[in-house]
Every structure is written in structure tokens, then in C-alpha cells.
Amino acid sequence: MENPKCHVAWPTLAAIGQIESHHGTYRHAALASNGDVRPPIRGVRLDGTGGTMRIIESEQTELADDDGVARAMGPMQFIPETWRLYGVDANNDGKVDVDNIDDAALSAAGYLCWSGKNLATPRGWITALHAYNDSTQYARAVRDWATAYAAGHPL
């Protein structure tokens, strides 16, 4: 997972966490001391309505609804397929858990690094953000929160 050439910075990860789930506290969820988020945070059904993309899971797993429709999951709001590819066990508890803030944050860092290659460059940073969420408005919000966190804004 370590990639010293990536240069992903904690303010970027914190900004994504803020936007996606208010750092794991969206809808009265809470963080346990081990980083688990309870109750689990799930996004809207990605069924192609209401401006969402239609994402159907090829496998019936706990990561999708009974009819196979995906939802973004966890404090960093991963799509199930992306989680299967990039999810890691950051806290060494033997589980790759989308609902654990440590696992989710390190997995997000890995995905951003894979997508943007070098986040120290404007092009790399914006490429990574658009891979995470293909929205200019989203990228601007991440930029604004990351700037605030880098300047000392508390989490």
C-alpha cells in the first residue's frame, strides 16, 4: 500500500471524510474506539434514478441490496466493486471492513494514489478526485475542506 511517490496528504483524506460522512457521524452514526462506525452508513440506491448512476453488482453479496443494486458504503462511501479492489485492513484486526474508519481511510488513500499517481501535482490531484467522484462541484468542496484542514480547522 505504501507509495512515497503519491504524496496523498491527510487534509485531502479528511476533506473526503467530511464530505462523505461527516467523519463517520452522518445520521447519528458514531465512531467506536476501534474505528468501527455504527450504525453502518449507506448511501442511496444506485439504481439510475434521481441523478444517480445505475450500478448493479454482478455477485449477490452483503455489499448490495437483495436485487443487486449497489449503494455507497462506509465513512468514505465506497462503491462495492471499488471496495473489493482497493479495500485494506489498516488496523490489523484481520478484517477488511468498509465500516471501519481506519480501513476506509487507508483504502481511500490507496485508491487516490492509484488513480492520480502523484497528488502533489494539480493534475494528479484533480485526476484522483474525479476518479473518486466525477464531479467538479465535489472536487471544489474537497479542495475547500482540505485547505481549511491544512490551515488548522479542527475536525
Write phi, then psi, for 70 (nearest 5 degrees): -80, 160
What local confidence, expressed as pLDDT, does residue 63 receive? 58
44 falls in which pLDDT band (50, 70, 90)? confident
The torsion defined by the Cα of 139, 141, 142 and 148, in degrees rounded to 10, comes to: 150
Answer whether residue 59 shows pLDDT above 80.
no
Answer whether residue 1 shows pLDDT above 60.
no
The enclosing H or E element of 107 equals helix 101-116
What global pTM score does this model have? 0.89
**What average pLDDT does range 33-51 have in this prediction?**
87
* Grid cell at residue 55: 450500478
Answer whether residue 56 shows pLDDT above 90.
no
Question: Out of 104-108, 114-118, 121-125, which region has the weakest mean confidence (pLDDT)?
Answer: 114-118
Spell out the domain ranges in the chain. 10-150
What local confidence, expressed as pLDDT, does residue 57 receive? 72
At 100-114, the pLDDT tens digits run: 999 999 999 999 999
What local confidence, expressed as pLDDT, does residue 49 receive? 74
Q: How far apart are CA 125 and CA 54, in angstroms?
A: 26
What local confidence, expressed as pLDDT, does residue 15 receive? 98
4 falls in which pLDDT band (50, 70, 90)? confident
